[in-house]
Amino acid sequence: MRGAWWVALGWLWVNVAWAAGFPVVELRIADIRTAMLEDGVTCAAIMQSHLDRIARLDGALHSIIAVNPDAMAQARALDALPRAQQRQLALLCTPLLVKDNIDVRGMATTAGSRLLAANIAVQDAATVAAVRRHGAIPLAKTNMSEFAFNYQGASTMGGRTRNPYDVRLSAGGSSSGNAAALAASFGVLALGTDTSGSLRVPAALTGLVGLRPTHGAIDTAGVVPLSPSQDVVGPMCRTAADCVQLMQVLAPAAGQRLTSLSGVRIGVVRALLPGDDRSAPFVTVVNDLITQLRRLGVTVEDVDVDDVHALVGNVAPVGHTEKFASRSAFDFPPAFASYLHTRPGKADWTYANVESGLRQLNTQGLEGDRVVQDVMLFGENARHRDGDRRAVVNGQFRDHYVITRLNRTLAGAPLSGKPFDFLMYPSVQGFNGSVYVGPKTGGTHRLSAYSGYPAVAFPAGWAKPADGQALQPVGVELLGHRDDDGKLLDFVRMLEEHLQGRVVPCLDQHD
């Protein structure tokens, strides 16, 4: 009897102590399981603390478009489960952030556009349904570059997303809200999309891990399309360990796993490192990472990728006048029109309705002037696709050209003749840009997008630009062989134990 009384008193003390807010900064999946299964904290308390943090701090970031009105009810439902059932849920009570081009039942899927403000999802996207079955709770829909068109992270629904490390800087795009909200500890996991670099670019700018999975590895049902032959859904997390757990839910057969850093072989594409004076501290962090990798038994060699500047879209491939670019400039109009045909109230819409609807919204002086111009331009591209040299170059020719050269590089190390496991290069070209300009990407993210091979962005360390701005993450990307998604994440998970710890953004005095 006395033991039961002390247990009850302990449970009461824990919940009273956290009544003012469960500590959520830098929370991990494992922390939530410990809090609920061992310390007696309720899921409702965990969710409420995240909601309170969003309400208190997001006004400066514009990372959240809408919070889920059913989140607390879902939390209480998890609290009502027997402890044995709770233990079986791999993502028990994990607050999930969802990019607002991915369906969450009962919430609008806007893709950042007021044109879709009434586009209420009647069911979860396949990915959201999967994580919900394992105990995660969709907590909020996040801001994004409208229709996922660019890397600037602005939309008519959510305004302009700002970076939690320095609100004067960009959070990238198009999954800008995911990145800013996750770095600010508004959630623990995030689901985003990546057509060309939309997961990895914002992850690199906010010190996060972002995986672009092998194309086709994860179901994209319930997602607003941009270019179906390039679109993927993928995880964004504060730690690779959390991304490993999320990928085990999203793609249980995610390919080969890794058990040791020793013996891994990496080719560094040094031609893609930034060369300007301002980025010298950035390059120093990358070189320090290479030194650390070698100490850990990883073989690291510089490699040359044939025609690398053509592969990333900086120059035209030999014999052509048009550069490689995302197919979204041609694919969006028919793909989006087909998507609208499946949505309530828009079954009879054509792309012309989209163009006219956006022109009307533009008269309200909203954030979407550039989006309207892009939508009109993409419509013209699609209508005149036949015979357009850009469309020809960026069809199967582009994919074969990129894959052939990447395979050639991965297959043979210049010093040893042995194949590489991964290629390494920066996710963006040096340090961040202002919130109104966005980052200089250098096109490195295109290697994964145009080949369909998986790539993971992660922070190699932190540094200040040579001009003395605030401390910024240095984002590095690893590209692996097809279906090596699990191997990539395992590598970063093990490497994290040896790298500088995460720098937590200081958003207020309570952090």
pLDDT at 428: 96
196 noted as active-site residue: no
170 noted as active-site residue: no
Q: Residue 193 and residue 199: Cα distance in Å, rounded?
A: 6
Q: Residues 174, 196, 328, 451: which is the catalytic one?
A: 174
Largest CA distance in the chain: 84
pLDDT at 347: 87
Does domain 265-322+398-496 fall into CATH 3.90.1300.10?
Answer: yes
Position of tokens 């961040």?
432
Query: Which residues in the chain come in under a pLDDT of 50?
Result: 1-19, 509-510
pLDDT at 500: 84
DSSP 430: S
Q: Under DSSP, is residue 452 helix (H, G, I), strand (E, B) or coil?
A: coil
pLDDT at 387: 87
pLDDT at 1: 35
Same CATH topology for 21-250 and 265-322+398-496: the answer is: yes
pLDDT at 17: 38
Q: Residue 352 and residue 357: Cα distance in Å, rounded?
A: 8
Q: Residue 354 and residue 377: Cα distance in Å, rounded?
A: 13
DSSP 496: H
The CATH code of domain 21-250 reads: 3.90.1300.10
DSSP 3: H
What the block records as the tokens of 474 is 């240095």
Q: Residue 340 and residue 342: Cα distance in Å, rounded?
A: 5
Task: Provide, for the chain, the percentages of residues in helix, strand and coil under a 3-state DSSP scheme, each rounded to the nearest 5.
Answer: 40, 15, 45
User: What are the residue boundaries of the structural domains of the chain, listed by start?
Assistant: 21-250, 265-322+398-496, 328-393
Q: Please give the span between the terminal C-alpha atoms of the chain, in angstroms, as a whole number.
A: 40
What the block records as the tokens of 54 is 């969003």
pLDDT at 12: 38
pLDDT at 4: 37
Cβ count within 10 A of residue 84:
7
Q: Residues 49, 63, 99, 141: which is the catalytic one?
A: 99
User: Helix 71-79 vs helix 43-57: angle between axes, to the nearest 10 degrees?
Assistant: 160
440 noted as active-site residue: no
pLDDT at 193: 98
Q: Residue 245 and residue 489: Cα distance in Å, rounded?
A: 10
Q: Residues 198, 227, 326, 427: which is the catalytic one?
A: 198
Which residues, 6+ apart, have CB-to-CB distance to 239 below 8 Å? 28, 209, 493, 496, 502
